[in-house]
Amino acid sequence: MDDHAGLLTIDRAALAANWRLLAVRAGGAECAAVVKADAYGLGLEHAVPALAAAGCRSFFVAHVGEGFIARAYAPDAAIYVLNGFAAGRISTYRSHRLRPVLGSAAEIEAWHQLGAGCEPAALHVDTGMNRLGLRPEEARVLIEAGNLAERGIGLLMTHFASAEIADAPENAAQITRISDLAALMRSRGGANAAIPVSLANSSGLFLPGAPFFDLARPGYALYGGNPVPGRPNPMRPVIRLEAPIVQIRAVPAGECVGYNGNWRAARASRIATISCGYADGYPRNAGNSPDHPGGRAIVAGRECPFAGNVSMDLITLDITALPEGAVRPGDMATLIGDGLDLDAVGRSARTTGYEILTNLGRRYRRVIRD
Ligand SMILES: *Cc1c(COP(=O)(O)O)cnc(C)c1O
């Protein structure tokens, strides 16, 4: 074994191809890239240049600090900051040409006071999440006043609560609310009529019959996540995660493995211990226990189940089904890749692929493929 670190391979050609596929899906609408949370855990410094080179001209981050970093890799792009207007950082918005996504009357007013000399902000309308943004009736009053452009607002956006559930009734309700506001804005004429509208996230781009308006904002699907759960994933996998086997041991029938002895050998078993654990962001909830099958890894081409709990730095795999001598310490086990996709890994840990991505650990050796 050369090293204890897991190996995280990031395929930037696949990332760029995924953006292009979504850009084609968006049709006449522009396709942005959501790169919040350090590009969903992949690293802004890796993702943003590849997306910009593929043709992406608009990016969304969550924090001003992320926008500050993204700017270095996309000098000409529009960069929106989703989590509201952090007025204390106004000089950074100005110097780095960051665009806040305004989500309340107070933020709109503060932007009006402070935003001179900045690029235009976005206005967030909450059409059904009750999380961020003006209520539709508040947005209506503002649009009817007809001075969005004068207030430094250059985009109207909302966000789906359940786009990955194609038949969720809330989708149609949200589409109606934003469509009504968009139509109202168009009917006003002048500068306000030209303000673009943005709705779709990754799954929204695959919702049958959903309008895309002017700008789509996919995140997860760019990184290989499945925007249509339960159906074949149209995206290319972007990350691959492997961890070295540090030890292979024989466990007699009846003995237990790991913390709290959650797994008991039903027969004489062989266990491979790999160097990856919850300190690397691999969820402890992926442990195998009597009530939950837990995670799996591919070893020597075969899917092997976890045996017992995930430890801080180690995971134990049941490799009894492999031929004796099929693997040795130092060989790699695949935790994501080789058919084990992000969404399946998320389910095995009772969470989503989003959380798997954004928790990808800092100890992995990151290898970039272009
Ligand atoms: C995270 C986010 C997105 C991207 O969503 P995905 O499901 O990752 O495509 C788009 N818009 C907003 C407001 C978001 O918070």
DSSP string, 241-303: EEEEEEEEEEE-TT-EESGGG-EE-SSSEEEEEES--GGGT--GGG--BTTB---EEEETTEE
Q: Does the Cβ of 124 fall within 6 Å of ligand 1? A: no
* Residues 6+ away with beta carbon under 8 Å from 366: 8, 9, 10, 43, 46
β-pair partners for 157:
124, 198
The domain ranges of the chain are 12-223, 239-369
Query: Which CATH architecture is the domain 12-223 placed in?
Result: Alpha-Beta Barrel (3.20)
pTM, to two decimals: 0.97
HSE-up (13 A, CA, CB side) for residue 98: 30
d(CA 265, CA 262): 10
Beta strands in 82-126 (DSSP E): 98-102, 121-124
> Would the pLDDT of 146 be above 90?
no
Residue 279 contacts residue 305 (beta carbons within 8 Å): no
Query: Residue 223 catalytic?
Result: no
pLDDT value for 188: 85
Give the angle subtended at the CA of 221 by the CAs of 219 and 222, to the nearest 5°: 70
Beta carbon of 103 within 6 Å of any ligand 1 atom:
no
Name the 3-class secondary structure at 10: strand
Q: Whose CA is nearest to atom 4 of ligand 1?
A: 219
Q: Give residue-wise pLDDT tens across range 209-263.
A: 999 999 999 999 999 999 999 999 999 999 999 999 999 999 999 999 999 999 9
Q: Is 36 a catalytic residue?
A: yes
Q: Ligand 1 within 6 A of 82 CB?
A: yes
For residue 202, give both structure tokens.
């990754």
d(CA 223, ligand 1 centre) in Å = 12
Backbone φ, ψ for residue 335 (5° rounding):
-100, -30
What's the confidence (pLDDT) of residue 170?
96
Ligand 1 atom showing the smallest separation from residue 221 Cα? 9
Ligand 1 close to Cβ of residue 177 (< 6 A)? no
Confidence class for position 119, pLDDT limits 50, 70, 90: very high
Instruction: Tell me: pLDDT of 1 over 80.
Output: no
pLDDT by residue (tens digit) across 155-180?
Answer: 999 999 999 999 999 999 999 999 99
Q: Is residue 189 very low, low, confident or very high in pLDDT (cuts 50, 70, 90)?
A: confident
* pLDDT for res 2: 79
Q: 289 pLDDT band (50/70/90 cuts)?
A: confident
Architecture field, domain 239-369: Beta Barrel (2.40)
Closest to 335 (Cα-Cα) out of 318, 352, 315: 315
Average pLDDT over residues 252-277: 97
Check pocket membership of 12 for ligand 1, CB cut-off 6 A. no
Report pLDDT for 353.
98
Whether residue 58 has its Cβ less than 6 Å from ligand 1? no
Residue 242 tokens read as 């492997």
Q: What's the pLDDT score for residue 276?
A: 98
For residues 201 and 140, give the distance between their C-alpha atoms in angstroms, rounded to a whole number.
23
Please work out whether the CB of residue 218 comes within 6 Å of at least one atom of ligand 1.
yes
190 pLDDT band, cuts 50/70/90, is: confident
Helix (H, G, I), strand (E, B) or coil at 203: helix
Residue 186, judged by CB atoms within 10 A of its CB (0-12, 13-18, 19+), counts as middle
What Rg value do the Cα atoms of the chain yield, rounded?
A: 24
pLDDT value of residue 94: 98
Q: Is pLDDT of 290 > 90?
A: no
Rounded CA-CA distance 101/60 in Å is 9
Reply yes or no on whether the pLDDT at 131 is more than 90.
yes
- AA letter at 211: P
Q: Residue 330 has what DSSP assignment?
A: T
Catalytic member of 36, 73, 80, 364: 36
Q: What is the pLDDT of residues 86-98, one digit of tens each?
A: 999 999 999 999 9
pLDDT at 13: 98
Question: Is the CB of 100 inside a 6 Å radius of any atom of ligand 1?
Answer: no
Q: Which two tokens stand for residue 111?
A: 């932007």
Active-site pick, 40, 259, 278, 364: 259
Q: How far is the CA of 203 from the centre of ligand 1 (A)?
A: 9
Which of 361, 366, 258 shows the shortest CA–CA distance to 317? Answer: 258
Cα(222) to centroid(ligand 1), Å: 11
The CA 217 to ligand 1 mean position distance, Å, reads 6
Separate counts of helices (H) and strands (E) for the chain: 11, 19
**Distance (Å) from CA 268 to ligand 1 centroid:** 48
- Report the distance separating Cα 303 and Cα 334, nearest Å: 9
Percent of the chain with pLDDT over 90: 96
Q: Which atom of ligand 1 is nearest to the CA of 159?
A: 13
Q: Which amino acid is at 21?
A: L
pLDDT, averaged across the chain: 97
Report the distance separating Cα 336 and Cα 243, nearest Å.
Answer: 10
201 Cβ inside 6 Å of ligand 1? yes
Nearest-atom number in ligand 1 for the CA of 222 is 9
Q: For residue range 299-353, what is the model confidence (pLDDT) as tens digits?
A: 999 999 999 999 999 999 999 999 999 999 999 999 999 999 999 999 999 999 9
Report residue 103: phi and psi, to 5°: -130, 10
Quote the ligand 1 centre to 147 CA distance (angstroms). Answer: 27
Helix pair 44-54, 64-73: axis angle to 10 deg: 50
Mutate to test the pocket of ligand 1, among 217, 222, 238, 352 (most ligand atoms within 8 A of CB): 217
Rounded Cα gap, residues 3 and 243, in angstroms: 10
Amino acid occupying residue 164: E
Q: Which amino acid is at 196?
A: P
